[in-house]
Amino acid sequence: MMEKRTLGKSGLEVSALGLGCMGMSWAYGAAGDRKEMITLIRDAVGLGVTFFDTAEVYGPKVNEELVGEALEPVREQVVIATKFGFELDPSGGPLPVGVNSRPGHIKQVADAALKRLRTDHIDLFYQHRVDPNVPIEDVAGAVADLVKAGKVKHFGLSEASVATIRRAHAVHPVAAVQTEYSLWTRDPEAQLLGALEELGIGFVAYSPLGRGFLAGAFKRGEALASDDLRRRHPRFQPDAMQKNLSLVESLTDIANGKGITPGQLALAWVLAQKPWITAIPGTRKRTRLEENIASASVKLTSADREAIDAAIAAHAVQGKRYGDNEMSMLNL
């Protein structure tokens, strides 16, 4: 079975690799077949995955429903993380219209999520994006109330600054912080990881495969589908994609030398950074799921890591990870 890791001092134990479920319902083109996605999630449990990530905004709402149905038969064996903090489009559109972490709203989102997830508790409840209009102390207090009520087990933050994390942690323990982290997004190394280690907070790396890019999922000249949200990201603009493929090609050469895939190299690299880091790659395919899980057993040598660093240095990443509007929502 897969290695287990504990998220900081929280005592929350999860599989080294979790499963990000967003893309099964939302963001990367048309949703996957519901029955096939339920089977895939249950297959993941059978293969040793115990950590599953979703959010109210994915769909919106339908991804939580999918995860809830899939995991209901094995609820006691798994850890479910979901998120609050966005203001959904009242007209039913697929994209949020802002942020909302008012305490009353947080509690409403929690109650609705519990129903969709078919459970009596949320294992890890993240603030999806920091709300500049609501003091983080009020947010932490609202989640603390949910913990006291037994509806939430652990409090998390996503894309929060070190200062925000410290303020929240002073009110109620933060179990984990989720931030994008991968071979082409190494921002957390500057300050965040050191602060989390000091505070005893776990780290969850989302998009550890660069939204599929680092797994070699794209070829030169390939275009994204019109309903794929990656079209909004600067790194996935045609010119940037072509330049960024040079990095993937170099990483593929290193992976080939180890007899693994570039995706496995990318995931093994993330897991090698700290023992309290877990990653949540997503997929819709059983073959990719098995490939990703196998990466938890890959060991990187010092020579491997030097070669990876050299490849990154030789191929500067082109483009920001989000567009201007989405970047403005990050609490950096």
For the segment 4-48, what is each residue's pLDDT rounded down to a tens digit? Answer: 999 999 999 999 999 999 999 999 989 999 999 999 999 999 999
pLDDT for res 25: 96
pLDDT for res 1: 80
Judged by DSSP in three states, 116 sits in helix
pLDDT range class, residue 226, cuts 50, 70, 90:
confident
pLDDT tens digit sequence for 238-292: 999 999 999 999 999 999 999 999 999 999 999 999 999 999 999 999 999 999 9
pLDDT tens digit sequence for 148-195: 999 999 999 999 999 999 999 999 999 999 999 999 999 999 999 999
Backbone angles phi, psi at 50, to 5 degrees: -120, 0
Q: Which of 99, 145, 56 is nearest to 137 (CA)?
A: 145
CB crowding 176-205: b at 16 or more within 10 Å, else e: bbbbbbbbbbeebeeebbebbeebebbbbb
pLDDT for res 311: 96
C-alpha to C-alpha distance for 49 and 281, rounded to whole angstroms: 11
Q: Which helix (H) or strand (E) holds 205?
A: strand 202-206
pLDDT tens digit sequence for 303-327: 999 999 999 999 999 999 999 999 9
Region 131-142 average pLDDT: 98
Which is catalytic among the residues 58, 126, 181, 206?
Answer: 58
pLDDT at 221 > cutoff 80: no
Joined tokens for residue 223: 């275009």
Residue 156 and residue 125 in contact, taking contact as beta carbons nearer than 8 Å: yes
Within-domain flag for 137? yes
Region 86-92 average pLDDT: 95
pLDDT for res 277: 98
C-alpha to C-alpha distance for 157 and 127, rounded to whole angstroms: 5
C-alpha to C-alpha distance for 331 and 97, rounded to whole angstroms: 17
Within-domain flag for 219? no
Give 259: exposed, middle or buried? Use CB within 10 Å, 0-12, 13-18, 19+.
exposed
pLDDT at 224 > cutoff 80: yes
What pTM did the predictor assign?
0.97
**Parallel, antiparallel or unpaired: strands 98-99 and 86-87:** antiparallel
pLDDT at 117 > cutoff 80: yes
Catalytic annotation present for 126: no
Q: How many independent structural domains does the chain possess?
A: 1
pLDDT range class, residue 332, cuts 50, 70, 90:
confident
Domain interval for residue 101: 4-212+273-297
pLDDT range class, residue 209, cuts 50, 70, 90:
very high
Residue 223 and residue 238 in contact, taking contact as beta carbons nearer than 8 Å: yes
**CATH code at 203?**
3.20.20.100
Q: Which of 321, 124, 133 is nearest to 210 (CA)?
A: 321
